[in-house]
Structure formats: C-alpha cells, structure tokens
Amino acid sequence: MAKISIMGAGSWGLGLAILLNNNKHDVKVWSVFPEEIQILQTERENKKSLPGVRLPEELTFTADTKDAVESADVIIMAVASPYTRSTSKLIAPYVKENQYIVNVGKGIEEDSLMTLCQIIKQEIPQATVAILSGPSHAEEVGRGIPTSCVIGAERKADAEYLQNIFMSDVFRVYISPDMLGICIGGSLKNVIALAAGVADGLGYGDNTKAALITRGIAEIARLGVAMGADPMTFSGLSGMGDLIVTCASMHSRNRRAGILIGKGYTKDQAMEEVQMVVEGVYSAKAAYQLAQKYQVEMPIVEQVYKVLFHDENPATAVQELMLRNKKMETNHNISWKE
C-alpha cells in the first residue's frame, strides 16, 4: 500500500482517487480552496464536475499543502494545465529528494512552450517526474469502466513501480520511456478535438470527423518527431487512442466547446458555457507557435488558431483545409511503377 496525495479535486483527480482507493492505497485529495474540501468531506460528491459518483468514505481531504505533500509516497498533479506552474511552486518547498510526482494534466504553457512535465521538472528539480495519459474520461474511470493508459518515466524501474500502483482489473497500464511524446499527444489532441467539435457544430458528418482525426494525428506526430519524440508513441494510447476518445465523446469539454463555436459562439462564450477549463484553447496558441518554431506544417492547428484568436469564420476554416494544394498522404517507402 502506498500513501498517495492528489493535488486537485476536479473530475480527473477524483476519478483517480476512487481508482487508487479501490486499489487499497491510502489516498488523500488536496485542494487550494478550503470551501471545496469542506463540501467534499460532507457531501462525498463533486456535483459540478463528477455528479452521481459517490466518493468512498476511506478518502481523506485536505487544504493543508505541507501535510498533503510531506505525507505522500506519490504525488498526483491533477490541476488544470494553466495552474501547473503555480501549484508546482507552491508544493516545491515540501517535496523530498526523488519523491514521485505523476503529472496527469494535458497542456502546453503558452509563454514558455514547455510541456507540463517540463514545468514540474523545472520548478521541482528534486522530484522524480512521470506522466499518466491515454483515453481516460474521469466520468468513466470513476465508475470503474474498463480503461487503458500509459505511464511514461525516464527510468524503467520507476515506470514499473507506478504501473503497479495504478494497475487494476478495470484499469490496464502500459509503460513507455517517451515522456515527451506522451505529453505532446495528450496536449495537442485537445486542439484537434476543438476542430472536431466545430465540425459537429457546423452540421458535418462522420466522414469529416474521421478526416480530422486521421490528419490530426499526422500533424501531432510531425511536430512530436521534430521535437525529439518517438513516432511510434503517436499510434498508441496517448496518441491516436486519446485523440479518438476526445474527438468522439460528449464527455470531452474540448469537443463540447468546439460544437458551440461551430454554432456561432465566441471562444469566451463557449468556455463560459462549458464551465470547465477548455485545455485546447490554451494549447492551440502554443501548438501554433511550436509549429512555427520547428517549421512543421500543421494546417488543422493553424485553422483552429485563426478561429479562436483571429475571428475566422469556422466554415471558412474548413474550406481553407479542403482547398489546400494536392499532395501525397504519407512519405512511402514504396516507389511508383514507371
């Protein structure tokens, strides 16, 4: 049994808290908001972000940062991506040498263009940082619906240790050394999911969504490889797997926001309507900047960026994608016949 503290009491943090509690670990959930902790302690439910899911009596809740960090064998970083750096700064003084921090957020910081794992490493250099990612809606994990994810870590022994902590009969965990690729896949899939939602909002069909998913993963992989990631990572759970579920499910806040934008909402109106952090809005600007930095062609990301930040009409953006210059689908090893 491990002592685990989850930093963040949103839907994903609580979904993992239930999973880890069912795995017989000693789980503590932290929030920076004492009033949120009080509600969770008394009502044993987050009615806003995880309604209908009862929180086990064994779970404990705290707003005491020092206690949450110092008492843990493993810290789960489950705050929304814009708050990863500030939360890392907050907990850094209490983190011990080689204490495990598992990032479960998905995003890229706008100003620095750093992944969330890179931010945590920068702010808490004494920690052993890992990442958990994959197609894993909190609403389903919290209800024990079978799910598969991947743990990324620099050392195999650390990945295997964390794999054993998360693994259960309803939560299968693979391991990988490609932390960078896992971070990129998890972050940029939210941008493509916004595009898929926009297509839904415009009234387009399954053909359109399939094209966005397929060409979207091609864009993500191109950027990932240019940044130094393993191309195989993007065909796995944290790449194609996460992209499919985020583009197809109404659990996805990014898809829901995209639907509203396709129907004529501004990005700010859509985010207000969804009432949750829409990670893809923040990642879209960073992804666009990364594409420029690494000179990688990312037409879907570019159009999402223009719709969000330059008021381009969504229907015009789709037309721009369809009327691009003709080209090969992939760079094949097979030659044409003469």
Q: Which of 116, 143, 177 is the last residue of a domain?
A: 177
Confidence of residue 257 (pLDDT cuts 50, 70, 90): very high
Do residues 295 and 191 both lie within one domain?
Answer: yes
Number of domains in the chain: 2
Residues 132 and 224 occupy one common structural domain: no
**How far is it, in rounded angstroms, from Cα 164 to Cα 62?**
26
In this prediction, residue 323 has a pLDDT band, given cuts at 50, 70 and 90, of confident
53 & 122 share domain: yes
Whether residues 136 and 228 share a domain: the answer is no
Q: What is the pTM of this model?
A: 0.94
Higher-pLDDT residue of 30 and 51 is 30
Same domain, 141 and 225: no
Question: Within this chain, do residues 255 and 225 fall inside the same structural domain, yes or no?
Answer: yes
What pLDDT, in 10s, does the model give residues 178-203? 999 999 999 999 999 999 999 999 99
pLDDT in tens, 43-69: 998 888 888 889 999 999 999 999 999
Range of the domain at 48: 3-177
Mean pLDDT throughout 270-280? Answer: 85
Per-residue confidence band for 122, with pLDDT thresholds at 50, 70 and 90: very high
Q: Are residues 149 and 268 in the same domain?
A: no
- Asked if residue 332 belongs to a domain, the reply is no
Indicate if 218 and 317 belong to the same structural domain.
yes
Q: What is the mean pLDDT of residues 172-178?
A: 98
**18 in the same domain as 145:** yes
- By the 8 A CB rule, do 91 and 98 touch? no
Please determine, for residue 277, whether its predicted confidence score (pLDDT) is greater than 80: no
Same domain, 31 and 132: yes
Q: Is residue 327 part of a domain?
A: no
pLDDT, position 139: 92
Would you state the pLDDT for residue 282?
A: 86
- What mean pLDDT is predicted for residues 73-91? 96
Co-location of 164 and 206 in the same domain:
no
Query: What residue type is 211 in one-letter code?
Result: A
Question: Parallel, antiparallel, or unpaired: how do β-strands 147-152 and 128-133 relate?
Answer: antiparallel
Q: From 152, 177, 202, give the residue that closes a domain.
A: 177
128-147: per-residue pLDDT in tens? 999 999 999 999 999 999 99
- Find the CATH number of the domain harbouring 156: 3.40.50.720
Q: Tell me whether residue 331 is in a domain.
A: no
Whether 333 maps to a domain, the answer reads: no
Q: How far apart are CA 225 and CA 222, in angstroms?
A: 5
The last residue of one of the domains, among 177, 195, 219, is 177
One domain for residues 169 and 103: yes
Q: What percent of the chain has pLDDT over 90?
A: 85
pLDDT of 126 reads: 98
Q: Is residue 337 part of a domain?
A: no
Annotation marks residue 47 as catalytic:
no
Q: Which of 26, 50, 46 is nearest to 36 (CA)?
A: 46
Catalytic position from the list 189, 209, 267, 285: 189
